[in-house]
Amino acid sequence: MPSQDTIRFIPERCDGCGDCMTACAKAKGGASRISIVGSGGGGWDIALCRQCGDPKCVANCPAGALDKHYGSGIVGWSQDLCVDCHLCTIGCAYGGIVFESAAGHVQKCDLCDGTPACVPACGKGALEHLSAAARLHETHADKEDLFVPGLSACQGCNSELLIRHTMRRIGRNSVVAAPPGCIPGMGTVGYNGQTGAKMPIFHPLLTNTAAMLAGVKRQYERRGKDITVVALAGDGGAVDVGFQSLSGAAERGERILFICVDNEGYMNTGMQASGSTPFGSWTSTTPVGTVERGKSTDGKYLPQLMMGHGCAYVATASTAFLDDYHTKLEKALAASRTGFAYLHVHAPCPTGWRFPAAMTTEVCRRQVESNFVTLWEFTAEDGLRFTHAVDRPRPLSDYVGMIGKYKHLGNAEIERIQASVNRRVAFLKGFCRQPSAAE
Amino acid sequence: MNQHVNSSRMIVCDGNEAAARAVVLARPDVVSVFPITPQSSLVESLAQFVADGALGAELINAEGEHSVLSALQGACLAGARTYTATSGPGLAFMFEPYVRTPGLRLPMVVSLVTRDMLSPQCVWGGQQDAMTVRECGWIQIYCEDVQEVLDTVVMAFKLAEHKDVLLPVNVCHDGNYLSYGVSRVELPAAELVDQFLGQPEVNWHIALDPERPMSVDPLTGGTGPGGAASFVGYRKSQVRGMAAALEVFSDIHAEWGERFGRHWAPLVEEYRLEDADIAIITIGSMTGAGKDAVDAARDCGQKVGLIKVKTYRPFPREAMIAALGKVKAAGIVDRSVSFAWDCGPLHQDVMTALFASPLRLPLVGFIGGLAGADITATHFERVIAETTRAAGGNVPSSPVWLNEHD
C-alpha cells in the first residue's frame, strides 16, 4: 500500500445520496465510518478520518489504543487496548473517530487496506482515493525538472531526490547557491564550462553562502524584481564554517530560503566529522581505535539554534516524508518573501554511514520512528508544532543497528544516545504553544 | 546633506569622510559595512548618508568583514555597483572572499584605511595590511592627501568597471594621518561626476540573473576535458586586465584633470626631479613630509627630488625606470616590511623593476612609520643624507629603521 494515503472529498459533486455510507457499512460491518452531513447553505460535507500527520486522537488516547503507522500513514485503532474513554473523539475536529452505540466502541476509517469501498460506490465522483505520491504528482508533475540527468551522486543518495523536488518547485525565476560539498560534487554547478542546472546557480565559498545570497537578493529587491534565492548547503557549510554568515543573515532577516542537507559530516571529502556528527559516530577524523571509540561529543543541533534567530520560518524534514517536505517547502518559500526561512533536511549517507544503498529511505523512516530525528516546524507566532509526532518511538537500536558507523557501539553508548534523544524531544516540546484556557 | 548638483564646493573634512563623500558621488547600489579602527568613521559616515537619503544604496550591516565582501560579491553578480572599506585584522578576516574577487572579475571598490598588522597588538597606521595582500590580484592605489582620497575613490570605480580591466580596486589611505587628518577639499559637483562615471556595467560577463541563466564559477581545471586550458585562459586574461590598468588609469586621470582641474600623476609622480642627483621614493601620506624635506634641501642647494608611487599594483615598472633614469641614487621609504629578506616591499619592487632594465644605481632602504610612528622632516633629512652618501658609493647593506630610536 502506498504511504500516506487519504480520501479527498469534492463537495460540489456530492448530492448527499449516501451511497458511500451504504458501501462502507457493508464492507466493514456495522455503522459506516464515513458520514455525509449537511454543511449549511444546502451543501454537503463529510465526517471522516483524515489520517492526520499530527493526529490529536492519538495524542489524547491514554491507553495506547491509537497509533500513527508511518509506513502506511494510517491511524490505527486497537480494540484490545481501548478502554472506551472516548477522549479520542474529543481530540478529533473532523468527526473522524466516533462512538457507535450499536458496536459498543469507537470506529474509524482504516482505508480498507488500500482499496476503500466508499470511493467506487460514489457515482458522482465526489470521493477520490489519493495517495501522497498522487498528490505530489498532481501538484508537481507538470513542473520542469531543472536538474540535469546523469549525475555523479553516490548510489542511494537522497540528495538528488531532494534537489529535483526542490528545483521543480522553486522554478527558473530563482538563484541557487550550492557551497562546496556533495551537492556541487555531484555536478550541480558543473565542470569546465558545463552546468548541472537549468537556472542561475553558483559555488559560494563553504563559509559565505548566506552572505552572498543576501547580496544577490538585496540588489534584486532594489531593482524591484521578485527573485527566489535558495541555498542548498551541507551541514559543514551551515553548522561549522558557514555558521557565522548564516547567523548574520538570519538575524538581519534577509529574504532567503536556506536549506541545510544534513548528512552529519564531511561526506564529500572522505567522511570527516563535522559539528553535526552525533555522539559515537565513526568518521575518518573520529575513528574507532583502542583508545577512542568514535565521536566523543553530541552533535550540534542547528535547527534549534535557528529558532533563536528571529527567522520567519524554521522546520526540519526527512525525504521519507516528502509530502511533509513539500508542505514545509511551500511555507518556507512564502516565509522567505518577508524574512529568513530555514529548512533542515536529514540526509542519511549510504557511503559515509555504511549502510546498503537500497536502505536509504528506510533509514530515514527509522530515524523519525525512533525520534532520533523529529519533524517539526516553528514560527515565533505559533511556536513549535510536531508534524509527525511519535509518542511511542521504536527502540533506538532499530535505527542504530542499521548503520555501519555505529556498529562498534555497546549498550551503554546506545543508552547515552537514547538519553540525548529523550532530552532533545523534551526540550523541543517546551517550545510548543500551550492551548489557552479558551481552547 | 545639501546637494549641490551643478557646481563644486569647498568643504573641510578628514580622509574617511572624503572617501564616504566620494562614494555618495559614485552612487553605488549596495554598500556593506563592518566597523574597525581606523576605518570606523568612514562607514559611520556612509550609514548617516544613507539614513539622510543622500546615498540611495542598499546598506548591509553585516556581522563581519568576511560577510561584507561576500554580500558585495553576490550583489555585484546581480548587477550592483558596490563599495566597502576595511583595515588591518578586518582585511585579514576578509581574505577568503578577497582572494576570490579578482578571479571572478568583479569590479568593486574597497578602501583600505591602512594599519599595521598584529602582533604586537596595535591599532595605529601603517601599510603592512595592504602590503600583505599585494599579490592577490587587486589593483592597489595609494593616496597622498585628503583631496586625492576623494578624487581617487571616484576614479577607482571607472578603472574597476573599464571593460579592458574589470578588476577590483583598493584605494589605500594611511590610517590616522589621512583617516583623521582634516583638510580643505573640493567636492566635485554630483552631476559632473555622473557624466564622468556613467551607468555601472558590472556583470555583463558573469551574472546570477534568471534572464541570463548560467552556472557561475563551476569547477575549472584539473584533469577534465579542456580543464587545464580553460583555467590558463582565465588566469591569463586576469593578468592582461591587470596590465591594461596602467594605461586605462592614466587616461582616467587625464579625463579627470580636464573635467575637474586637478591633475594627479596616475602611476608615479616626479617631484623636482629634473636636475636631481638623488631621489627619495615615497608611498602614501608620508609624501607630504617628503616633499617639504625636498624643498628644504633644495633651499640649501642640494639637488634632491622625489618619486611618489601612486599605483602600486600593477607596479608601474616603466614609469619607475623612467624616473630613476634621472638620478644617481635613490632612497626608498617603506611603511611596512617584507619578510622575504631584510627590506621593505616597495624596495623589492623597485629593485625588480631596475633589474628588468639596463639601468643600475645604488638603492638605500628605509623603514619608517610603523604602528603610527611619524615620519618627520628630520627623518627625511636623514633619508636624503644617507642616499647622498650612497650616490658616493657608500651603500648600507641593510635598511635604515627611521623610528628605531624615537
Total length of chain A: 439
| B191 and B287 housed in the same domain | no
Range of the domain at B18: 9-205+244-260
| B70 and B109 housed in the same domain | yes
Average pLDDT on B250-278 reads: 98
How far apart are alpha carbons A377 and A431 in whole angstroms?
Answer: 10
Average pLDDT on B44-49 reads: 98
- Report the pLDDT value the prediction gives residue A70, as an integer from 0 to 100: 66
Of the candidates A174, A197, A207, which has its C-beta nearest B96's C-beta? A207
Average pLDDT on B336-344 reads: 94
- Report the pLDDT value the prediction gives residue A208, as an integer from 0 to 100: 98
Instruction: Report residue B30: phi and psi, to 5°.
Output: -135, 130
Q: Over pLDDT 70: what percentage of chain A? A: 97
| B177 and B280 housed in the same domain | no
Residues 345-364 of B with CB under 8 A from A: none
Q: What are the CB-based long-range contacts (under 8 Å, 24+) for A331-337? A: A331/A377, A332/A257, A333/A169, A333/A170, A333/A228, A333/A257, A335/A257, A335/A311, A335/A379, A336/A228, A336/A229, A336/A255, A336/A256, A336/A257, A336/A312, A337/A226, A337/A255
Q: Over pLDDT 90: what percentage of chain A? A: 80
Note the pLDDT tens digit of each residue in B87-140. 999 999 999 999 999 999 999 999 999 999 999 999 999 999 999 999 999 999
Residue type at position A155: Q
For an interface test with B, give the residue of A151, A208, A243 to mutate (most B CBs within 10 A). Answer: A208
Residues 338-377 of A with CB under 8 A from B: none
Residue B99 domain-assigned (yes or no): yes
- Is residue B4 pLDDT above 80, yes or no? no
More confident residue, A129 or B366: B366
| B125 and B176 housed in the same domain | yes
| Contact with chain A for residue B224, Cβ under 8 A | yes
Which residues in chain B have their CB less than 8 angstroms from residue A205's CB? 70, 96-97, 100
- Is residue B322 pLDDT above 80, yes or no? yes
Residue B234 domain-assigned (yes or no): no
Residue from A316, A372, A347 nearest A181 by CA: A347
Residue B217 domain-assigned (yes or no): no
| B91 and B150 housed in the same domain | yes
Q: Which residues pair with B363 in a beta bridge?
A: B330
| B118 and B255 housed in the same domain | yes
- Report the pLDDT value the prediction gives residue A40, as an integer from 0 to 100: 80
**Could you tell me which residues come within 8 angstroms of residue A421 by beta carbon, excluding any fewer than 6 positions away?**
A370, A371, A372, A396
| B278 and B251 housed in the same domain | no
- Report the pLDDT value the prediction gives residue A39, as an integer from 0 to 100: 86
**Domains of chain A, start order:** 6-136 (3.30.70.20), 143-429 (3.40.50.970)
| B91 and B135 housed in the same domain | yes
| Contact with chain B for residue A300, Cβ under 8 A | no
* Lowest mean pLDDT, pick from A83-92, A327-336, A372-381: A83-92
Radius of gyration of chain B (CA): 21
- Report the pLDDT value the prediction gives residue A3, as an integer from 0 to 100: 46
| Contact with chain A for residue B216, Cβ under 8 A | yes
Residue B236 CB-density burial (10 A; 0-12 exposed, 13-18 middle, 19+ buried): exposed
- Report the pLDDT value the prediction gives residue A311, as an integer from 0 to 100: 98
| B249 and B313 housed in the same domain | no
- Is residue A113 pLDDT above 90, yes or no? no
- Is residue A438 pLDDT above 50, yes or no? no
| B294 and B378 housed in the same domain | yes
CB contact under 8 A, A200 and B30: no
Q: How far is CA A188 from CA A260, A334, B226, B228, in A?
A: 16, 25, 19, 21
Average pLDDT on A256-281 reads: 97
Q: Residue B297 is part of a domain; what is its CATH number?
A: 3.40.50.920
Task: Give the DSSP H or E segment for A382.
Answer: none
| B150 and B133 housed in the same domain | yes
How far apart are alpha carbons A94 and A269 in whole angstroms?
Answer: 50
Of the candidates A192, A223, A247, which has its C-beta nearest B230's C-beta? A192
Note the pLDDT tens digit of each residue in B27-38. 999 999 999 999
Residue B314 domain-assigned (yes or no): yes
- Is residue B281 pLDDT above 80, yes or no? yes
| B71 and B148 housed in the same domain | yes
User: Edge-to-edge, what's the strand order for the sheet holding A201-202?
Assistant: A383-386, A376-379, A313-318, A341-346, A257-262, A228-234, A174-177, A201-202, B215-216
- Is residue B69 pLDDT above 90, yes or no? yes
Residue B215 domain-assigned (yes or no): no
How far apart are alpha carbons B167 and A152 in whole angstroms?
Answer: 34
Q: Is the dihedral of CA A184, A190, A193, A197 positive or negative?
A: negative
Average pLDDT on B43-67 reads: 98
Q: Over pLDDT 90: what percentage of chain B? A: 96
DSSP H helical ranges for B52-184: 65-77, 88-93, 95-100, 128-132, 146-161
Helix axes A209-222, B65-77, angle to 10 degrees: 50
Task: Give the DSSP H or E segment for A300.
Answer: none
The answer to whether residues B242 and B139 touch, using CB atoms and an 8 Å cutoff, is: yes
- Report the pLDDT value the prediction gives residue A374, as an integer from 0 to 100: 98
- Is residue B67 pLDDT above 90, yes or no? yes
Average pLDDT on A194-214 reads: 96
Cis peptide before A11 (omega within 30 of 0): no
Residue from B83, B80, B173, B190 nearest B125 by CA: B173
The answer to whether residues A371 and A359 touch, using CB atoms and an 8 Å cutoff, is: no
* Lowest mean pLDDT, pick from A136-145, A242-251, A267-276, B185-194: A136-145
Q: Is B78 helix (H, G, I), strand (E, B) or coil?
A: coil
Which residues in chain B have their CB less than 8 angstroms from residue A214's CB? 60, 62, 67, 71, 74
Residue B211 domain-assigned (yes or no): no
| Contact with chain A for residue B72, Cβ under 8 A | yes
- Is residue A2 pLDDT above 60, yes or no? no
Residue B114 domain-assigned (yes or no): yes
Q: Which residues pair with B343 in a beta bridge?
A: B338
ipTM over cut 0.90: yes
Q: Residue B121 is part of a domain; what is its CATH number?
A: 3.40.50.970
Residue B104 domain-assigned (yes or no): yes
- Is residue A56 pLDDT above 70, yes or no? yes
Q: How far is CA A304 from CA A235, A331, B140, B358, in A?
A: 14, 18, 44, 68
Which residues in chain B have their CB less than 8 angstroms from residue A244's CB? 63-64, 66-67
- Is residue B233 pLDDT above 60, yes or no? yes
The answer to whether residues B129 and B117 touch, using CB atoms and an 8 Å cutoff, is: yes
Mark which of B260, B293, B324 sits at the end of a domain. B260
Split into its structural domains, chain B has a count of 2
- Is residue A281 pLDDT above 90, yes or no? yes
- Report the pLDDT value the prediction gives residue A1, as an integer from 0 to 100: 32
Residue B196 CB-density burial (10 A; 0-12 exposed, 13-18 middle, 19+ buried): buried
- Report the pLDDT value the prediction gives residue B350, as an integer from 0 to 100: 98
| Residue whose C-alpha cell is 491514554 | A62
